[in-house]
Amino acid sequence: MSKKITLFKSFMIVMPILISNGCDNNKNNYNYSNCRGKPYSNKIAYHKKYNKQNPKDINFKKQIYGKWKKILKQKDGSLLFVTTNFYRNGKFYISAIRKKDNTTISKLYSKGNWYIKNSYLIEKTKNSNYATLNSITKDKIIIITNKQFVYKTQNGKIFTYYKK
């Protein structure tokens, strides 16, 4: 039994792609009944045009996974202890505790989806007690190593996260 895989990109059908295991003798009608064994694999193929990724983005993506921490000093003298988790499935979770004089003032959280494109970290908030829902941030990645993640916000501010 043959499989025909159709791929979608946004609202447009990209193209059907058949994944063959070497039985390409009858390309027009997709009938591979003469082939021995299983004619198609069950892997999904992507059209080359849409599968290209910047090598720098691939490297950033590999290094951003995990738990990152930063401490921000607020105008009122309080400290904001921020922890951000970037998961491999494209989700993120941010938790923050605001403290002043060792007293917790507030607890904040945000979660949503993330991806990296053209050296920008793009996050879309799905649930939060401080950020606008469905808001999108686009931060320029300056550097990511195993211990440090430096980025520049849309407002031009530079922040640094650390991994322990």
pLDDT band at 148 (very low <50, low <70, confident <90, very high): very high
Q: What is the mean pLDDT of residues 146-161?
A: 96
- Integer Cα distance of 17 and 19 in angstroms: 6
- Residue boundaries of the structural domains of the chain: 1-52, 57-162
Question: 45-78 b/e with 16+ CB inside 10 Å = b?
Answer: eeeeeeeeeeeebeebbebbeeebeeeeeeeeeb
Q: How many residues does the chain have?
A: 164
**Residue pair 25/105 in contact by the 8 Å Cβ criterion:** no
Distance CA 59, CA 39 (A): 35
Where does the pLDDT of residue 54 fall: very low under 50, low under 70, confident under 90, or very high at 90 and above?
confident
Q: Please, what CATH class does the domain formed by 57-162 belong to? A: mainly beta
**Interval 83-115: pLDDT, tens:** 999 999 999 999 999 999 989 999 999 999 999
Query: What is the β-pairing status of strands 12-17 and 66-73?
Result: unpaired
pLDDT in tens, 126-141: 999 999 999 999 999 9
Contact between residue 149 and residue 159 where contact means Cβ atoms under 8 Å apart: no
With a threshold of 0.75, does the pTM exceed it? no
